[in-house]
Structure 1
Amino acid sequence: MQLDAEDFTALTVTEGEDRLHAQLNRPEVRNAIDSTMITELHAVCEHLEACPKILILSGTESGGKGIFASGADIGQLRQRRRDDALRGINSAAFDRLAKLPMPVIAALDGFALGGGAELAWAADFRVATDQVKIGQPETGLGIIPAAGALWRLKDLTGEAMAKEILFAGRILNADEALAHGLVSSLHAADELLGAAHELADRIGRQDPLAVQVSKRVFAMPREAHPHVDNLAQAILFESEAKFDRMQAFLDKKAKRAEQPTNNGTKES
Structure 2
Amino acid sequence: MNYENLHVEKSNQIAKVFINRPKKLNALNRATLQEIHEAFKGLKDDDEVKVIILTGTGEKAFVAGADIAEFANYSVEEGKDLAAKGQTLVFDYLANFPKPIIAAVNGFALGGGLELAMAAHFRIASENAKLGLPETSLGVIPGYGGTQRLPQLIGKGRAMQMIMTAEMITAQKALDYGLVNQVVQLDELIDVAEKLAGKIMNNSMKAIEAAIKAINNNYKDGVDGFKTEIAAFGEAFGTNDFKEGTEAFLNKRKANF
Same fold (TM over 0.5): yes
Of residues 62, 73, 81, the one that matches 1:68 is 62
Question: C-alpha distance in 2, partners of 1:79/1:188?
Answer: 39
Matched, 1:172 2:166: no
- Give the alignment of 1:85-164 within 5 angstroms: 85-87=79-81, 88-92=84-88, 93-164=90-161
Distance 1:11 1:225, change over 3 A: closer
**One-letter code of the match for 2:209?**
Q
- 1:192 is aligned to 189
Contact residue 139 and residue 167 of structure 1 kept, 8 A: yes
TM-score (norm 1): 0.87
Cα displacement string for residues 5-25 of structure 1 (whole angstroms, at most 9, x for unaligned residues): 22x011000123532110011
Gaps of 5+ in 2: none
RMSD: 1.6
When the two structures are aligned, how many residues end up with a matched partner? 245
Contact 1:59 1:109 survives alignment (8 Å): yes
- Cα deviations across residues 122-177 of structure 1 (Å, max 9, x unaligned)? 11111011100000110100111010110101110011110011111121011111
The letter for the 2-side match of 1:252 is K
Q: How does 1:217-256 map to 2 (within 5 A)?
A: 217-221=214-218, 224-252=224-252
Which residue does 1:32 correspond to in 2? 27
TM-score, length basis structure 2: 0.90
**SS where residue 109 of structure 2 aligns?**
strand
Is 1:22 aligned to 2:17, yes or no? yes
Instruction: Give the aligned partner of residue 81 of structure 1.
Output: 75
Deviation at 1:225, TM superposition (A): 4.1
For 1:226, what is the secondary structure of its paired residue? helix
Cα deviation, residue 90, structure 1 = 2.4
Residue 12 in structure 1 maps to residue 7 in structure 2: yes
Q: Which amino acid aligns with 2:229?
A: D
Q: What letter matches 1:35 in structure 2? A: R
